[in-house]
Amino acid sequence: MLQRLVLWTGGMAVVNEESDVYDAFEEMDPDQEPADDEPPATSVDGFLEDGITSVEQLQPLWEHLDRLERLSTLGLCNFAGSTGEVAVAMAAHPFWTRIETLDLTRGRVRAADTEGLLAALRNATRLKTLVVEQAQIDDTALAALLDLGIELTGEPRTPFEQYRFVVTRE
C-alpha cells in the first residue's frame, strides 16, 4: 500500500533564453520590455501552462487518496496556486487526518494563505512535520506556522529572495 506520495505540480518555474531557471512568484507582464541584463522569461515547453495551479485540478487526486489507509506523507511541491485554498480542500477529506508529514517544497505561502493553511493544519491531528525546503514563505505566515508547534524542516525563502534550481522534463 502507498504510504508516501509526492506530487510535483509543475507550476513554479520559468526559464530565460540563457536556460537559467528562476522562480515564478513574480507576475510577468508580457508587454513589459525586459531590462538590458535580463533576457525575457518564457515557459519551458508548456511547463507553466501545463502545471497544476488550482484546487479543482487536484480534486480527483484527493478522492483517490481517501482510499489509501496507510498514506502518511503527502507532498504538494512547487504548487503555484493558493496554499490556503488547497489546504482547506484537503482538510475536507478523510486522508487528511492520517497525514504525518506534509511537503510544501518549493511552494509558496503568502500572508493571504495563512488563515486557511492554519485552519487545515490544526485539523491534521497526526501532522508532525511540515517540509518547507526552498518554499517562499512571507514573515507573517512563517511566524504563524512556527507558533503551531509543528516541526518545520528545510530552508524556506523570503518572497524577495531569488534562487535557482534545475528543471528536467522527460
List the CATH number of the domain containing 123.
Answer: 3.80.10.10
Residue 51: band (very low, low, confident or very high) from pLDDT cuts 50, 70, 90: confident
In a domain, 22, yes or no: no
In a domain, 60, yes or no: yes
Q: How much is the pLDDT for 50?
A: 63
What's the full length of the chain, in residues? Answer: 170
Residue 29: band (very low, low, confident or very high) from pLDDT cuts 50, 70, 90: very low
Q: How much is the pLDDT for 9?
A: 87
Q: Which domain holds residue 70?
A: 4-11+50-153
In a domain, 64, yes or no: yes
d(CA 138, CA 113): 10
pTM of the complete model: 0.73
d(CA 165, CA 170): 17
d(CA 99, CA 128): 9
In a domain, 30, yes or no: no
pLDDT over 70, % of the chain: 69
Q: Phi/psi zone of residue 79: left (φ > 0), alpha (ψ -120 to 50 degrees), beta?
A: beta
In a domain, 104, yes or no: yes
According to DSSP, residue 98 is labeled G
In a domain, 74, yes or no: yes
Q: Phi/psi zone of residue 99: left (φ > 0), alpha (ψ -120 to 50 degrees), beta?
A: beta
Q: How much is the pLDDT for 1?
A: 80
Q: How much is the pLDDT for 85?
A: 94
Our count of domains for the chain comes to 1
Nearest to 81 by CA among 12, 154, 131: 12
In a domain, 158, yes or no: no
d(CA 116, CA 103): 17
In a domain, 92, yes or no: yes
d(CA 91, CA 86): 9
